[in-house]
Structure 1
């Protein structure tokens, strides 16, 4: 009976230690996430845009670019810190064509958005991604032909925000 009580007390002590370590780890991660400047951007297309086969979409109407990590001249977002980011994209094609855009990380396809011709449907996706410092995210035409995007500053959007640093 004494051995049972001793083992039980030892298990409670280990459980308490594990709980305290877990709470401290989450507190450390939360504090790390609050260090450093914020990172967030939203960019739109300002006009109807033709995007060549497999080319990067260059969103040129910048609503915000806190931290300067989105580069409108290239259409590429570069993660300035390791962390969890929220990345979003919306798509509306021109009535004349089907469009497939892909969310791309360092050259690898993560996800595809689709908008059919003759209907002007709006497609959108949001991904939460663990990115390393220097990882690059962009939106590119996944079609083997020119993609015609319908816009005048409000339908086609690319945005991202750092949720927490790791």
Structure 2
């Protein structure tokens, strides 16, 4: 949304330079009024850019050995608004109900492969698998509807121990979109 407003602002400045500022100012004000109405209708009026659940965490240890059915614990937490992601457990807990977006990139160590799953609560939501190519990786992006208290995490799914690459090649992120 902010990107749209930024581009729209640049267009407004360009139009001001060529003399059509009155028409653009009316249009800009109309868009701001519309966005204000949308925010007033939001059931979570206190959610803003500082209270919106969002996190980004990567894996630093290289290589990282992950055992059978183990949850991957992304230890380098760079963003963690409202502290919904816990690096000690590797688990994100939804602080509010709504639609969330989650992304992860899993990079296997050279010549290795790694099977994983993204879980919602204790059920598989999607599966992922890296190839055994030189540092093969897999990107997973999903949209998940969560209730308050639901959890999301990345879990190793093969029946043998495997290794993944740290050094920030492997990461997990998520953010609240809307109700």
Which TM-score band (shorter chain)?
0.7 to 0.9
- TM-score, normalised via structure 2 length: 0.72
Q: Which of structure 1's runs of 4+ aligned residues deviate more than 4 A? A: 26-30
SS of alignment partner, residue 109 of structure 2 = coil
- TM-score, normalised via structure 1 length: 0.78
Match of 2:57 among 31, 40, 43: 43
Higher RCO by CA contacts (8 Å cutoff, separation 6 or greater) = 1
Match of 2:101 among 86, 108, 112: 86
RMSD: 1.8
With over 3 angstroms needed to count, the CA separation of the structure-2 counterparts of 1:146 and 1:69, relative to structure 1, is: same
Map of 1:21 onto structure 2: none
* Pair 1:111-2:126 in alignment: yes
SS of alignment partner, residue 32 of structure 1 = coil
SS of alignment partner, residue 64 of structure 1 = strand
Map of 2:42 onto structure 1: 31
Whichever structure has more strand as a proportion of its residues is: 1
Map of 2:17 onto structure 1: none
Distance 1:149 1:30 in 2: 44
Cα pair 2:104 2:170 within 8 Å, conserved: yes
Map of 2:162 onto structure 1: 147
With over 3 angstroms needed to count, the CA separation of the structure-2 counterparts of 1:85 and 1:97, relative to structure 1, is: same
Match of 2:152 among 134, 137, 140: 137
* Pair 1:77-2:88 in alignment: no
Match of 1:63 among 53, 56, 78: 78
Q: Which segments of 5 or more consecutive residues in structure 1 lack a partner in the other structure? A: 1-25
Pair member with larger Rg: 1
Distance 1:53 1:86 in 2: 26
